[in-house]
A and B are shown apart, each in its own frame.
Chain A
């Protein structure tokens, strides 16, 4: 499928388990981002990546790990899930070559519940 996809769309897990959320984009955009969205906080950046093998922390990185071995994929791993990580997670991508400055394209989101 063209565009940006996320999987799974819904996930229920238990405290302490490791969970990996997948993100895949077909545009070969150089930048990719992970945000979480919680009621009362809007969207907050977790991690971002400027290119393959280059990642950097965002506003709320604790408890998360990312990797980017290929340009098109940017998985987010919760090493030991906690209830506070219950949220909706959005992946996004962008590229300097797009028409608008820093226009980011968002995936459909993954709703994660940690019991």
Chain B
């Protein structure tokens, strides 16, 4: 599976839009880009997955350019409760080990 690279940390204020970019230069044709969120003292939680272009759900949007070598997780109007670690992963099929890097620690202040 392709290795991913993302910033170690980001800071934001309540009400701002936050964009976290992840690079995955060696992504394969059958790979999907997936983001997980982890709050302190909890297990990671799936938030969004995409293959190409744009995906949006009630939590976030995921933008994937045509070459798929990077992706951007967009969190609209963050609140204090969005303070968490966000992991970018590449997955290809069910039942595989998720490769978690160190993620991006997002700190939202008031």
Residues of A within 8 A of B (CB): 30-31, 33, 35, 40, 42-45, 48, 50, 58-59, 90, 92, 94-96, 98, 100-109
B102 touches A100 (CB 8 A): no
Given A94-B95, A95-B94, A101-B93, CB of A42 within 8 Å of CB of B45: no
Q: How far is the CB of A41 from chain B (nearest CB, A)?
A: 8
Between A and B, how many residue pairs show CB distances below 8 Å? 70
B97 touches A45 (CB 8 A): yes
Give the complex CA separation of A104 and B43 in angstroms: 10
B91 CB contacts on chain A under 8 angstroms: 101-102
Given A90-B43, A109-B43, CB of A43 within 8 Å of CB of B98: yes
- Size of the chain B interface, CB-CB below 8 angstroms: 22
Give the complex CA separation of A33 and B97 in angstroms: 8
A31 touches B100 (CB 8 A): no
B49 touches A101 (CB 8 A): yes
Using CB atoms, name the residue of chain B closest to A42. Answer: B100
B95 touches A92 (CB 8 A): no
Give the complex CA separation of A31 and B102 in angstroms: 24
B44 touches A106 (CB 8 A): yes
B42 touches A109 (CB 8 A): yes
The reply to whether the CB of B41 lies closer than 8 angstroms to some CB of chain A is yes
Given A100-B49, A102-B91, A103-B46, CB of A59 within 8 Å of CB of B41: no
A30 CB contacts on chain B under 8 angstroms: 95
B43 touches A92 (CB 8 A): yes
A102 touches B43 (CB 8 A): no
Annotate B71-105 by CB proximity to A: 1 below 8 A, 0 otherwise: 00000000000000001000111111110111100
Give the complex CA separation of A98 and B93 in angstroms: 11
